[in-house]
Structure 1
Amino acid sequence: MIVPLSEQTAHGLDEETPLYYGASWGDGAAQAADARRSVRALLACAPRIGHIGVPPTLAMDAELAVSELVTNAIRHAPGTCGMTLRMSRQELTITVWDSSTEQPTPKKTDPHRIGGHGLHLVQTVSEKVVVALRATGKLITAHLPVAPPNTGSPLLPSSIPH
């Protein structure tokens, strides 16, 4: 079930309130393009309610991370999957869950191989990536910094840790 951000209420939200978004898809219904649109909508909504705007490079990194995580769920896990986005003053967390109980492992970098680079790309653009295995599948959470610790200032594109 997807509730478009445009239909979610912004009443009572301010810069201290984390923004949330969630979607779940039935078997075969997930699309990376939907996930990317959701990230763009969340990031566009943030400044309108007092959150800091994010640099374009972080927005691109977030779209890349969500696209790769959802694509991996589609390709490697049968059944339903879902995604949650949470944006605070400090970070954007992207969590994708699926039905596979297999631990994902990044493949060794091979510039001649087509595909198989997704998890490595997510790790490159994220401050950290956490995998939590569950009895019915797994959660993969990518943490992307929005601002340096203890400040409200946005990161400069050249200072985003990779």
Structure 2
Amino acid sequence: MVLPLRNRKADTHGQDGSPPLRYGATWGEGAARAADARQALRALLSHAPRTGRTAVSADLAVDAELAASELVTNAVRHAPGPCGMTLKLSSDELTITVWDSSTDKPAAKKADPRRIGGHGLHLVHTVSDRVVVALRETGKRITAHLSLTPNQSTTGLGGTALPG
């Protein structure tokens, strides 16, 4: 099931008072693909300027695609059953939420160039301003928050300087 791009009344508005632009998708077991998540994100971001919003920077778009792709990949690999994704774009923030049926709390592993795999959640933390994990009785939700405000985000891989 896919919820179309649209403006909806929301509990939170951006700094400019406009309602966020939202997108949602739910996939049955084994049906989710990272490519679908990236395509949905690109559609949302390309639709945003047509609603009067400022276009998202190319660097932030790359970071957001990476976060969406990694979160959906983790849901497919580590949780049986259905999963879903919600994207929310306000005037000041993009949030990417992926839910799945596993009640195991994920942990970001320290980067290790010798290890194959296991870097996804670390990458999500790297490109996001904040990552929130919410455990539920039937699974979990992981939300990556990416700020649209210039110079607030000091993380990222899409060209933004990393501290250090």
TM-score interval for Structure 1 and Structure 2 normalised by the shorter chain: 0.7 to 0.9
Q: Give the AA of the match of 1:137.
A: G
Superposition TM-score, scaled by structure 1 size: 0.86
TM-superposed CA distance for 1:4, in Å, is 5.0
Cα distance per residue 1:14-60 (max 9 Å; x no partner)? x7121000000001100110000000000001111111111100000
Higher helix share: 1
Cα distance per residue 1:65-92 (max 9 Å; x no partner)? 0000000000000000000000000100
CA RMSD of aligned residues (A): 1.6
Mapping of residues 12-161 of structure 1, within 5 Å? 16-147=18-149, 155=150, 160-161=153-154
Does structure 1 retain, via aligned residues, the 8 Å contact 2:3–2:25?
yes
Distance 1:23 1:93 in 2: 14
Structure 1 unaligned blocks of 5 or more: 148-154
Q: Give the AA of the match of 1:91.
A: E
SS at match of 2:31: coil
Distance 2:154 2:89 in 1: 18
SS at match of 1:54: coil
Instruction: State yes or no: 1:2 paired with 2:2.
Output: yes
Instruction: List structure 1 segments (4+ residues) > 2 angstroms apart after TM superposition.
Output: none
Structure 2 unaligned blocks of 5 or more: 9-15, 156-164
Which stretch of structure 1 is more off in the superposition, 33-42 or 107-116?
107-116
Percent of aligned pairs with the same amino acid: 65
